[in-house]
Amino acid sequence: MLLLAFSDVMPSKTVKIWVFDIGQGDAIFIDGPDKQILIDGGPDALVLERLSSVMPWWDRKIDIVVNTHPPADHLVGLLPVLERYKVDELIDAGEGYSTPEFEELLNLAGARRTIMSSGDVIDLGGGATLTTLWPPQPYDNALLDDPNDGSIVQLFEYGDTTMLLTGDVGIAEENAILDSAFCCRDTARPCPSHCAYDVDILKAGHHGSDTSSSQSFINRIQPEIAIISVGVGNDYGHPSTFVIDRLIRVGAAVFRTDIDGNVQIKSSGGEPTVKSFTF
């Protein structure tokens, strides 16, 4: 992979990542070498069923829960998770949001809440990391015109495996990530506008909406696999046929949770394997 700094620690364990078929929303579970992380919870309690299908019956601990941003399709499922599981830490970007569900999330999290922004790294053990690429700074409870654009964006790295998790950010934010934190995070030099690099797996932004995943963005990250978390027959027309075409043009294999169901990624530090997964 070009312009990506990998850990000197040689991976020795298999990491499993599930992009759950959760309806119109996001819920991604990472079973890392030393830590388990749930990124978003979808629009309802279905995430509990999905988690129980991939975790041992006796395991009632999730090390970290990440709420990328506060709208209901990413947040509501986290409420029963925080009640049912022992969660050490809840991470978000500090966005303000005035809904009862968001207030309940903060109340349940209490002192376990951590605010993250660009450059913060979660160590999953064994050389696996999640690096936050967006937002550039904490929001300090600010109310955004579009809460989607405040999504936490993270880069998963494990040996030669890379996965970009883009939340619901729009095209302007994607471009800002490419021109700053992602492209230039390991160099003090100005970031060249023409820099290019590969990502193995892209979790496409905003459920495949054409407000994300521009052609220039796709061209620059060159994903080999794209995963779209989207609900069957949703009211938004997601995913956009334009986005699907853009991904296909760069040779990406496209998985959709509305068609393929749950998607499982496995990596032992080399090239990942990706497949649809039935519990």
Total-model pTM: 0.91
**Nearest of 40, 46, 94, 86 to residue 63 by alpha carbon:** 86
The pLDDT of residue 181 is 53
Residue 5 covered by a domain: no
Identify whether 91 is part of a domain. yes
φ/ψ bin of 141: left (φ > 0), alpha (ψ from -120 to 50), beta (otherwise): left
6 domain residue, yes or no: no
CATH code of residue 138: 3.60.15.10
| Chunked mean pLDDT (size 10), the chain, 279 residues | 41 89 97 97 98 95 98 98 98 96 97 95 96 94 95 95 96 88 54 62 96 93 96 94 96 97 96 89
Is residue 146 included in any domain, yes or no? yes
First to last CA, the chain: 32
Domain that holds residue 31: 15-277
Please report whether residue 7 resides in a domain: no
- Within-domain flag for 8: no
Q: Any idea which residue has 């959709």 for tokens?
A: 256
Beta-sheet strands, E only, within the chain: 15-19, 28-31, 36-39, 61-66, 86-92, 113-115, 121-125, 128-134, 153-158, 161-165, 201-203, 225-228, 253-256, 262-267, 273-277
How many structural domains are present in the chain? 1
What is the model's pLDDT at position 278? Answer: 79
What span, in angstroms and rounded, lies between the C-alpha atoms of 101 and 107?
10
The per-residue pLDDT for 127 is 95
Residue 180, in any domain of the structure: yes
The predicted structure's pLDDT at residue 277: 81
- Predicted local distance difference test score (pLDDT) of residue 95: 96
Q: Which residues contact 6 (CB under 8 A, 6 or more apart)?
A: 127, 157, 159, 160
Does some domain include residue 9? no
